[in-house]
Structure 1
Amino acid sequence: MEEQRSQTGDGPSGEQGGPARRPPWARGGTAGAPGPRGFWSQGEPPRWLTGASGGSARRLPWASTILLGIFVMVGSTFAAHGQADEKAPLDLFARLLLLAAVAVLLLRHRHPVVAVFGASAAAMVYLGAGYPYGPVFLAVAVGCFSAVVAGHRRAAWSAVAMVWVGHILVAHWLYRWLPPEGDDAPPWGQELAVAAWVVAIVAAAEFVRVRREQWAAQRAERRLAEKRRADEERLRMARELHDVLAHSISVINVQAGVGLALLDSDPEQARTALTTIKAASKEALGEVRQVLDTLRTPGDAPRAPAPGLDRLPELVEQAASTGLAVTVETDGARGTVPPGADLAAFRIVQEALTNVVRHSGSRTAEVRVGYGGGRIRLRIDDAGPATGTDAGGSGNGLAGMRERAAALGGTIEAGTRPDGGFRVRAELPLPAAGSGAAHQKETP
């Protein structure tokens, strides 16, 4: 026997690897799903922060660099007027240094390390030449920001530290030999402002880097969740099609054999077998069409209600047409059963009876359905023996039953009985326990 007695007690699939929560900017995501708080919490973050577009690194940032260059040039002119008595006036060399500090930032997407060190070097020379403080530091800040966001943290920190240490050397030691003449050392309190500027730039860059990594991880998580949902949907469809087709084709196969055997000796009985084949094939086509319709138009309500345990008499009738006598016993009051649990219970019984028809030498089966304790309890027995090596089924049907039960947080046991028969036992949880203790017995 391929399938030995086993038990599955896995929880619902949503508890293990279920769909992850999707940020509100995820297009097509679930409405109301919570996302990260803070900046851009109500919309999609900018692509230059998330790196969502692979082409951004191939394009040079001309527009932003030109705007930055204009600001640096104009701002430095105003700064020179305010520091005319303390610093050297802006000349052609100063303008070239400012231009170089900004122009190298064109490479900040492709080569962020080159950009941050180039801007820092130009700023160092600018400060060493005695030119006025001003927006030249903004070029260093942009270069540091780009390098940190791109992941080159040590390079960015080293470049900014180089500017800071260079400023201290120029302002408190080398100023005696550097222009302008007669310059004095600034107060040490000024270095606190420079240190605060450095810390603020690095902190802002680190904040954006962390947020960018979080957004990248969330995008990857969304892709995995979508793939997982697609895989689960394909598995559900495959399981549904297997249960529908396996049962119907088993009935058709048995009735076709009966019809062929009685075609000459008992035409009327052969006609009955053909009528059963027609009805089973029509029902199977209808259920397959319903499953395929949900694939074509996902999210739409099904045209027909999903089958449930209220259709057990139909299963009994179909089994009787194949020569299998099925006894159904029901314990407890049915109460309210969710559609998912009702469908799973119906399919489990259907698959178990199909296995009896296909793989058991017994012509009788017993189905017991119990309600109570917040669960549906199913037990399907046949006296056996197995007609081949596939006792209880070929494996796919039993695996499908286990998946259905596990998806609802239930359990399945399937295996041979000591007397040679086969038993399938299932328990499916319900949201509320049924009431009453009614007992009824039906024998077709």
Structure 2
Amino acid sequence: MFRPLKTYQLVVDVVVAAAFGLVALLVELQLGRGADFVTLVVSSVLVTVAMAAALAVRRLSPGIALGLAWLGAIIQMGFARPPGVADLAIFAVLYTTAAYGSARVFWAGFASSFAGALVITVYLVFGPYFGASGLTWSSIPIALAVLVAAGFALLLSWTVGALVRTGVRARENRDAQQRAEAEASAEQERVRIARDMHDVVAHSLAVVIAQADGARYASAADPAAATAALGTISTTARAALADVRLLLTQLRHSQGDGPQPTLGDLEELYAQVRAAGVELRVDVDPAPVGEPPAAVQLAAYRILQEALTNALRHGGGGPVEVRLAWHPSHVELEVHNPVPPGASPSDAHGHGLIGMRERAQLAGGRLDAGAQGDRFVVRAQLPIGVPA
């Protein structure tokens, strides 16, 4: 029933209504000259107070304002008063019913425009103040003109309010759509950075852990192995730190993607895995012709990185096989790694496989992963030349 308004809005409405009421009361007292003084004063005060009150609460409660306006009109007709300045408040009330009222108040204002035009016409034609001669053939055109003029004036106020209401709703919908698009864009960016962070950190930590464990057992027999392992750990950690800093810079400053890994970085990835003690076999047949799209290179690199990380973490110690086939229309990649007997083949419900599938889908391809006998197989197919 009541709309939330700011304090200054309420103050402005009350001040405007008070000023309007004061001016309207003076004019109403002048229009009623010749009548009984007490009746003149009482009727003028009642009509002015009702219309001024309707004007004061028109934005706070359009429904109550409409009711007060009807009350003022009924009092005016009850005292057989002529139309006056106080009636101007009706137009402001009809405007606010259409602009700010609820659905019921909205349509109540619309109906009041027609009903008010009819009441004004009947009152002027048959009322005690104007209709001394009643309805005659000569007064019919006047009655029709009054009906059209009153209906046009009342509906015009209501229509302007309805247009304002439509504009406000359109602006709110546009703002809501922009907020939703901004939130969706931010969420996509967070997911992308989280995916990159997972790929970088998970792979680097897996290599570091493997090197540290290997150095701990090998240092007793070969002290040089510990030194080599520490060198690999240092190199891997520095590379991971640089990648993490790049991702954090993107997150903090919302800058561009920055340099992303390409097929030329695969040899470094293979070297890190081999340095961790994994027997890695790589077969590329056929080789890529020309320069594949950057999105395909990035997806292939990240999928291979995550698949090799899983092989390093969950593998059974046997050889890991990587196969790449660069066809003119698509690239096929496979990663096979042994699984220890009785062990869980991979983090099937973790973020690794989810991230690989997202990578493939973003590049327009697909990815399947699962156990096949004593081996865990990751297969992906990415289109070349198709927009992601």
* TM value normalised by structure 2: 0.80
Equivalent residue in structure 1 for 2:67, among 114, 117, 129: 117
Q: Please state how far the C-alpha of 1:355 moved relative to its aligned partner.
A: 1.5
Q: Residue deviations 1:150-177, cap 9 Å, x none?
A: 212243235444433432332233x1xx
What is the distance in 1 between the residues matched to 2:309 and 2:272?
Answer: 10
Bigger mean CA offset, 356-365 vs 209-218: 209-218
What is the rounded CA distance, in whole Å, between the counterparts of 1:423 and 1:103 in structure 2? Answer: 76
Say whether 1:192 aligns with 2:141.
no
Counterparts of 1:317 and 1:113, CA distance in 2: 77
Task: Find the aligned partners of 1:202 and 1:428 in 2 and give their Cα distance.
Answer: 59
Alpha carbons 1:413, 1:426 under 8 Å: kept? no
Picking from 374, 396, 400, the partner of 2:355 is 400
Percent identical pairs in the alignment equals 24
The match for 1:391 is 345
**Distance in 1 separating the partners of 2:164 and 2:378:** 60
Alignment partner for residue 311 of structure 1, among 265, 268, 273?
265
* Gap change, CA 1:387 and 1:309, over 3 Å in 2: farther
Distance 1:357 1:387 in 2: 16
1:262 is matched with which residue: 214, 218, 222?
Answer: 218
Aligned to 2:241: 285
Give the corresponding residue for 1:379.
Answer: 333
Q: CA deviation at 1:363?
A: 1.7
Shift in Å at residue 251 of structure 1?
0.7
Q: Aligned partners of 1:145 and 1:393: how far apart in 2?
A: 64
Task: Determine if contact 2:48/2:72 at 8 Å carries over to the other structure.
Answer: yes
Question: Structure 1 residues 234 and 153 mapped into 2: Cα distance closer, same or farther (>3 Å)?
Answer: same
Classify 1:270/1:318 alpha carbon distance in 2 versus 1 (closer, same or farther; 3 Å): same
Report the Cα distance in structure 1 between the residues aligned to 2:29 and 2:130, rounded to whole angstroms.
Answer: 13
For the 8 Å contact 2:206–2:313, the answer to whether it is kept is yes
**Pairwise mapping of residues 17-416 of structure 1 onto structure 2 (< 5 A)?**
56=5, 60-64=9-13, 66-67=15-16, 92=41, 93-94=43-44, 97-127=47-77, 129-133=79-83, 135-148=85-98, 149-151=100-102, 152-173=105-126, 175=127, 178-179=128-129, 182=132, 187-189=142-144, 190-298=146-254, 300-301=255-256, 305-322=259-276, 323-329=278-284, 331-335=287-291, 337-338=293-294, 340-361=295-316, 362-370=318-326, 372-373=328-329, 375=330, 377-386=331-340, 389-394=343-348, 395-416=350-371
Residues 386 and 155 (structure 1), Cα distance of their counterparts in 2 relative to 1, 3 Å cut: farther
- CA positional deviation for 1:350: 0.7
Post-superposition shift, 1:283?
0.9
Q: Which amino acid aligns with 1:125?
A: I
Tell me the CA shift for residue 107 of structure 1. Answer: 1.7
1:321 is displaced (CA, Å) by 0.6
| Contact residue 72 and residue 135 of structure 1 kept, 8 A | no
Go from structure 1 to structure 2 and tell me whether the alpha carbon gap of 1:118 and 1:429 turns closer, same or farther (over 3 Å shift).
Answer: farther
Secondary structure of the structure 1 residue equivalent to 2:338: coil
User: Cα deviation per residue 1:305-337 (whole Å; 9 max; x = unaligned)?
Assistant: 222222111111111112232314153324362
The residue type equivalent to 1:397 in the other structure is G
> CA deviation digits over 1:220-273, x for unaligned, max 9?
333333333333222222211111111111111111111011111001122111
**Which SS does the other structure have where 2:378 is aligned?**
strand
Deviation at 1:286, TM superposition (A): 1.2
Decide whether the 8 Å contact of 2:51 with 2:89 is kept in 1. Answer: yes
**Deviation digits for residues 178-226 of structure 1 (CA, Å, limit 9, x no counterpart):** 2368576652222112222233233333333333333333333333333
C-alpha distance in 2, partners of 1:112/1:132?
A: 26
Give the TM-score, by structure 1 length. Answer: 0.71
Cα deviation, 1:54-111, whole Å, max 9, x if unaligned, reads 8526665343564466568769989999x99xx99xx644365235312332222332
Distance 1:416 1:126 in 2: 89
| 1:10 alignment partner in structure 2 | none
Q: Which amino acid aligns with 1:169?
A: V
CA apart distance, 1:397:
0.7
Q: Which has the higher helix share?
A: 2
User: Aligned pairs, how many?
Assistant: 370
C-alpha contact 1:327 1:366 (8 A) present in aligned 2 = yes
Q: 2: distance between equivalents of 1:350 and 1:222?
A: 36
Q: CA deviation at 1:135?
A: 4.9
Separation of aligned partners in 2, 1:283 and 1:142: 70
- CA distance 1:337–1:79, change in 2 (3 Å): farther
> RMSD of the TM alignment (CA)?
3.7
CA distance in 1, matches of 2:354, 2:177: 28
Unaligned stretches of 5+ in structure 2? none
Q: Residue type of the partner of 1:150?
A: G
Output the CA distance in 1 between the equivalents of 2:90 and 2:76.
Answer: 12
Change (3 A) 1:158 1:125: farther
Displacement of 1:344 in angstroms is 2.6
Contact 2:13 2:55 in 1 (8 A): no
Q: Is contact 1:124–1:166 with CA below 8 Å preserved after alignment?
A: no
2:293 corresponds to which letter in structure 1? V
Partner secondary structure for residue 169 of structure 2:
helix
Return the letter of the residue paired with 2:356: M
How far 1:141 sits from its partner (Å)? 2.2
Structure 1 counterpart of 2:93, one-letter code: G
Query: Which residue identity lines up with residue 164 of structure 2 in the other structure?
Result: V
C-alpha separation in 2, matches of 1:162 and 1:58: 34
Unaligned runs of 5+ in 1: 1-53, 433-444
